[in-house]
Amino acid sequence: MALYAIDDLDDAWAATREFLTPLSVRRVAVLAVVVFFVGGTGMNPLGGSSGTGTAPEAGPGPGASLDAIQEFVAQNALAIGLIGGTLLAVVLGFVFVGALMEFVFVQSLRTDEVRFWDYARRYLGNGLRLFGFRLGLALLTVLPVLAFLGVGLTAIGAGSLTQTGGAALVLIGLLAVVVFVLVSLVDSFTTAFVVPVMLVRDSGVLDAWRAFWPTLTGQWKQYLAYAVAAFVLNVALGIVLFVAVAAAALVLLIPLGVVVAGTALLAPTVVAPVAIALGVLFVLGIVAVALVVQVPIRTYMRYYALLILGDTDGTLDPIPAIRARVRGDGRDPETI
């Protein structure tokens, strides 16, 4: 039996090379914006940690600290609510745009045409559905974390942690880890395989999962191999990204450092604002380099997943024409 996780490595590179050449500054710039949302978030479940200690018998205990926190929250409820609401709105907006950009990215790869606004308008409904699905996954991740914090804070408020409470914390902590791993897998497979199925079948997230599920379970060895290979590739390509960004940082840092040093010698009164302005320029330059480098990396990884999807189920193949061009050997995907 052919192992597509190995066979498709070269084909994914051929598809990536074909998609990105001839090199177009406009195409790379638009894809860099898309990658900023696709590669920068996806879904980041909220996390938390809690610690316990042994309280001294004398002096103010943990309960007093908890009371002080409650009093502070009560006195500043409005400000905390406004800040929290603003941050929540920003996060939700970022997650929604990230969900929408998944469809812009995959459709661009399918058609070899990067149409940012056209695809964004066309797949707004799909973006909303994926956004809702990801919120549901995030809620599943947050619930055990909240339970962990609730038990921990209750124990702190009581001033001691009983043996039963400690066991409950351990069990809830293990549950949180298991849920996080499962949710991460579901979200990763949704991004890599279910989003393309949504485009192929013009369906919602759950309908696409129902269509993909028989393929996933019937060809589980192929997808297990993909998961392992994708992990190794992400680590290797992450190292490439780090090296590229570090080199760019060095190249930018030398001339900017010379300018700051020269300003300090010739006009020391303005060295602070010059250093701040150049620092902002440095950060923006590093971000731009990172995004440009991520364009071929993300393109390669997404083509890799699309090829495996079509190989395991020809009826769900999102890129049949591209597959035929990069292979040119008549090899047909296996249909289930």
Tens of pLDDT, residue by residue, the chain (336 residues): 678 999 999 999 999 999 999 888 999 999 999 999 997 523 333 333 333 333 344 444 444 455 666 677 777 778 888 898 999 999 999 999 999 999 999 999 999 999 999 999 999 999 999 999 999 999 988 887 777 676 666 655 555 556 665 676 778 778 888 888 899 999 999 999 999 999 999 999 999 999 999 999 999 999 999 999 999 999 999 999 999 999 999 999 888 888 888 887 777 777 788 888 889 999 999 999 999 999 999 999 999 999 999 999 999 999 999 999 998 854 544 443
**């590669």: which residue's tokens?**
39
Q: How distant is the alpha carbon of residue 176 from its chain centre? A: 19
Contacts 24+ apart (CB under 8 A), 305-308: 305/192, 305/193, 305/196, 305/226, 305/230, 306/106, 306/109, 306/110, 306/196, 307/4, 307/8, 307/11, 307/12, 307/15, 308/4, 308/5, 308/8, 308/222, 308/223, 308/226
Domains held by the chain: number: 1
Domain assignment present for residue 37? The answer is yes
Rg (Cα) of the chain, in Å, rounded?
25
User: What tokens does 279 get?
Assistant: 């620092």
Domain assignment present for residue 321? The answer is yes
Domain assignment present for residue 336? The answer is no
Q: Which residue range forms the structural domain that includes residue 180?
A: 4-50+62-327
Domain assignment present for residue 141? The answer is yes
Contacts 24+ apart (CB under 8 A), 22-28: 27/114, 28/292, 28/295
User: What tokens does 280 get?
Assistant: 């902002």
Domain assignment present for residue 332? The answer is no
Domain assignment present for residue 56? The answer is no
Domain assignment present for residue 221? The answer is yes
Domain assignment present for residue 57? The answer is no
**């949180």: which residue's tokens?**
176
DSSP letters spanning 155-198: HHHHTS--HHHHHHHHHHHHHHHHHHHHHHHHHHHIIIIIHHHH
